[in-house]
Amino acid sequence: MRRMLVTGGAGFIGSNFVHDTVRSFPEVELTVLDLLTYAGSQRNLDAVSDRITFVHGDICDSSLVDGLVRDTDVVVHFAAESHVDNSLNDPSPFIRTNIVGTFTLLEAVRKHGVRLHHISTDEVFGDLPLDSDDQFTEQTAYDPSSPYSASKAGSDMLVRAWVRSYGVQATISNCANNYGPYQHVEKLIPRQITNVLLGDRPKLYGAGDNVREWTHVTDHNTAVHRIITAGRIGETYLIGSGDERSNRQIVSELLTLMNHPADAYDHVPDRPGHDLRYSNNTTKLRTELGWAPTYDFTAGLRATIEWYRENSAWWKPAKSATEAKYKLLGR
Ligand code: NAD
Ligand code: DAU
């Protein structure tokens, strides 16, 4: 797998994946295909710009995709519309990019016999009760709640069908919430860190009891590399650190780490259809592929706070537009 095409490589997880790949697999020839939506920036790839080929384009553009896939050995597919709140406000780009875009890639890998790894989310499974130890497994039935998760569920189903019907060489991974550098300020952790840095208060949806499982983006990407190199074709692998926290705990922890009172946050109206809790059982990935997370959550959160403190030039241009969007939603 000498030549790799990374879709969505200018976004949060994709750009971290490109950095990690350049560092750990210097022999790989990397091409990034990204539309540079509001969520992507070529600046995220500045440090590796001389090591990659960047193509500004759309995964729904079948002739562009066909030409790029023809000249690669493996496609790692991160490109997506990724934010639940945006999907509730306007689902249409989610249907287009997440479903039609994945279909376009599948047709190209089918034609050229190219390996595909599809990046997905635990949100396809719906949610779990708050007061339980239940977990999602690779066998959990799909039950998505939001337009975002429904569009990702649709894309996963297409990949499974192309594997079964056409023998496409594909794998899927479903990861829980990621955090780390280069995450857009619309997401929970960067939004609250940057609020505090600007002297504003963090905003908690509803009571703040909803629970998420937080995985450092580098641990996610290590798992993706394991699956690309050793995963079984046609299989799905769940990824997650096991670090579950309520949103209130997250906000309190980051306020404390930033030397503010732990309760210096505001409650805002809840997200409609808000999933209660996510938790992935990662036994398959750990036992079959020997993966384990390496990040301690508090240390990772502290490093992430420092990254946003030191990179205000990166996030400030997007901050006011993002907060203006939230203001319209009342959140
Ligand atoms: P992101 O929103 O930060 O980045 C998405 C990237 O895709 C951007 O660079 C954007 O420009 C690009 N893109 C969007 N539409 C495109 C199109 N039509 N053609 C080409 N490029 C396009 O997203 P992220 O948080 O990095 O998520 C990456 C992937 O990981 C997504 O598939 C998401 O569903 C999945 N995922 C995310 C998380 C998380 O916590 N962020 C967790 C699990 C899975
Ligand atoms: O589980 C994986 C998913 O994690 C990915 O598939 C998505 O792409 C990614 O965006 C993320 O989805 P969430 O909806 O869980 O992430 P978000 O950062 O939007 O919110 C995390 C939790 O925090 C959620 O319960 C809503 C809450 N929240 C969010 C924001 C932005 C708040 O309480 N306040 C906020 O300001």
Confidence of residue 91 (pLDDT cuts 50, 70, 90): very high
Confidence of residue 11 (pLDDT cuts 50, 70, 90): very high
**Per residue in 57-78, pLDDT tens?**
999 999 999 999 999 999 999 9
Which of 58, 148, 244, 308 is flagged as catalytic?
148
> What residues are in contact with ligand 2 under a 6 Å CB criterion?
82-84, 121-123, 176-177, 187-188, 191, 203-205, 210, 212, 247, 271, 278
- Is residue 327 over pLDDT 80? yes
Q: Is the CB of 178 under 6 A from ligand 1?
A: yes
Rounded CA-CA distance 135/282 in Å is 9
Q: Is the CB of 115 under 6 A from ligand 1?
A: no
Domains annotated on the chain, with CATH: 3-179+215-239 (3.40.50.720)
- Residue 231's CB is within 10 A of a number of other CB atoms, namely 23
- Is residue 254 over pLDDT 90? yes
Largest interatomic CA distance in the chain? 57
Residue 85, class by beta-carbon neighbours within 10 Å (0-12 exposed, 13-18 middle, 19+ buried)? Answer: middle
User: pLDDT at position 140, please?
Assistant: 98
User: pLDDT at position 1, please?
Assistant: 75
Lookup: tokens for 199? 């002297």
Confidence of residue 123 (pLDDT cuts 50, 70, 90): very high
Q: Whose CA is nearest to atom 21 of ligand 2?
A: 188
Over range 76-95, report the average pLDDT.
98
User: pLDDT at position 40, please?
Assistant: 98
Q: At what angle do helices 247-257 and 188-197 cross, to 10 degrees?
A: 30
Mean pLDDT of the chain: 98
**Per residue in 293-313, pLDDT tens?**
999 999 999 999 999 999 999
**Per residue in 203-252, pLDDT tens?**
999 999 999 999 999 999 999 999 999 999 999 999 999 999 999 999 99
- Is residue 291 over pLDDT 90? yes
Over range 196-208, report the average pLDDT.
98
Query: How far lies 6's CA from each of 51, 195, 228, 255, 301, in Å?
Result: 13, 32, 12, 35, 27
Distance from the alpha carbon of residue 181 to the mean position of ligand 1, in angstroms: 14
Q: Whose CA is nearest to atom 13 of ligand 1?
A: 79
323 is catalytic: no
148 is catalytic: yes
Q: Is the CB of 102 under 6 A from ligand 1?
A: no
Rounded CA-CA distance 279/212 in Å is 7
- Is residue 255 over pLDDT 90? yes
